[in-house]
Amino acid sequence: MTDGKKLAFGLTGGIATGKSTAMRLIEKSNESVVVFDADEVVQRLLASVEVVSAIAESLGMEVQYRDGTLNRSALRDLVFANPERRKQLEGILHPKVRKECLVKRQEWLKTSGSVIFVADVPLLFEGGFDFHQDLNLVVATSVETQRSRLKRRNYFNDEMISSILAAQLPISEKVGLANIVFWNEGPEKVLESQLKHFFDVI
C-alpha cells in the first residue's frame, strides 16, 4: 500500500449514497489514516455566533434567533428553495472549510506518520474544492436508491428530496469526474470489500 508515499484523497458522493459509511469503513481498516470531515467543520461554524451573524446579514435575519443562534429549519428551507441564497451561504462557509482542510493536510504532511489523508467533502466538485489531492473518490448509487433512502431515513417528502438533489451535481456527473468509483447498492460488506481492495493495491 503506497510503498510509504503519502497520498491525499477527496471523498464525495451524493446525499444518501453512503459516503459517511465509506469513511467509517476506511477509518476502521486503516487505523493510522488522517481524515478531514467537512460536515463536522460546517456544524462547528454554524454554532459560531460570528458566523451565524454573517449568514443572517447576508441572507436575512429570519435565519437567526434572538439569542444569536441559528434557525436551522429556516435556513434549510431558504437555501433549498433559492439557489442564489444557497450560493451566498456557500460563499461564507466554503472558504473557511477549505482553509481548515489545507491546514490539516499540511500538518499531516509535516508531522503525521500516516501515509493516507482523506477529506470527506460532500460538495467536492460543486464547490471546486481543491486541496491538492492526488485522487477523487466517489461513492455512488442510483438516484432511485438515493430517494428511497432519504424517505426511509429522513422522512423527507418528494418535494424536499427533489430540492436537495437539485442542489448537488447529479450522481452520474460525479461518477464522470471521479478517479475511482465505489458502487454502493448492495450490503455494506460489498462496499467494504471494494474499499479494502482499493487501499490494498494503491
Please provide the DSSP assignment of 98-149 as one string: HHHHHHHHHHHHHH---SEEEEE-TTTTTTT--S--SEEEEEE--HHHHHHH
| Confidence band, pLDDT 50/70/90 cuts, at residue 169 | very high
Delimit the domains of the chain by residue range: 2-201
Residues 26-76 pLDDT 10s: 999 988 899 999 999 999 999 999 999 999 999 999 999 999 999 999 999
Choosing among 3.40.50.720, 1.10.10.10, 3.40.50.300, 3.30.360.10, the CATH entry for 2-201 is 3.40.50.300
pLDDT for residue 198 is more than 90: yes
What pLDDT score was predicted for residue 180? Answer: 98
Per-residue pLDDT at 81 exceeds 80: yes
pTM above 0.85, yes or no: yes
Mean pLDDT of the chain: 94
The pLDDT of residue 2 is 60
